[in-house]
Amino acid sequence: MQTPAPSATVEGAARLPSDIGTFPAASATALRRLLDGLFLGAGILGAGCVALICLLMVVQSLGRQFDVATGAITDVVAWLCAAAAFLTMAHAFKHGDFVRVTLLLEKLGPGARRVLELLSLGIATLATAYLAWWACRFTYESWAFNEVAQGLLPLPIWIPQLSFALGALLLVLAVVDEFVIVLRGGVPTFVRLVEERHAQGDFSSDL
């Protein structure tokens, strides 16, 4: 058996810590891209629901002019409204588009502000987790009992309810993500993105 040269062994040992250290960083970057992609994808779906609502309303208006029955469109529009609201919640939260009262935070120092942000995000995690639990349970029960919509379109009600459950789960994930960011000493994403928009002179989200 050939014994490796001492210099090669020492050189390999010297490179080992740096090789190990690059893996968590790469994993964190991949996870960050995955989460951002999920939130963005849900936001795009929500925007698509809004566009589809507009299209269906135009179709319904034209149908009435030609005496075409379009009553079922009302049910679809209602479901799309709910989907648009819940699917976009995580994206809106991450981008600072939720209503936030920051009068107290702005008067605190960095340490006290971080503690209060962690407390707020912790409470938000519990609240959104409770919402997600009941949203998923509600949707599951509708599927288990084969409930059908009571309107003109007899669709299994768990299908439109999926957007409620998915949106609630993504919101929990977004809140937990922000909690971890602040816990690790970072600036909340919803604060950083708002500050970046303000630095560019964009105050449209504050109106």
pLDDT in tens, 109-163: 888 889 999 999 999 999 999 999 999 999 999 999 999 988 888 899 999 999 9
HSE-up of 197 (CA within 13 Å, CB side)? 14
For 46, other C-beta atoms within 10 Å of its C-beta total: 23
For the chain, residues with pLDDT lower than 50 are 1, 5-23
Report the SS3 class of residue 67.
coil
Q: What domain count does the chain have? A: 1
pTM, full prediction = 0.80
Task: Give CA angle at 33 (29, 34), nearest 5°.
Answer: 115
Q: How far apart are CA 136 and CA 5, in angstroms?
A: 61
Q: Do residues 133 and 104 touch, judged by C-beta distance below 8 A?
A: no
Axis-axis angle for helices 189-199, 158-183 (nearest 10):
80
Q: How far apart are CA 43 and CA 37, in angstroms?
A: 10
pLDDT reported for residue 41:
96
Nearest partner of 121 among 167, 176, 192, judged by Cα:
176
56 lies in some domain: yes
1 lies in some domain: no
Token representation of residue 181: 């960011």
Nearest partner of 73 among 60, 54, 58, 55, judged by Cα:
60
pLDDT reported for residue 101:
72
Q: How far apart are CA 168 and CA 146, in angstroms?
A: 22
175 lies in some domain: yes
- The parent domain of residue 199 ranges over 6-206
pLDDT reported for residue 65:
85
Q: How far apart are CA 20 and CA 175, in angstroms?
A: 30
Token representation of residue 66: 């030609």
80 lies in some domain: yes
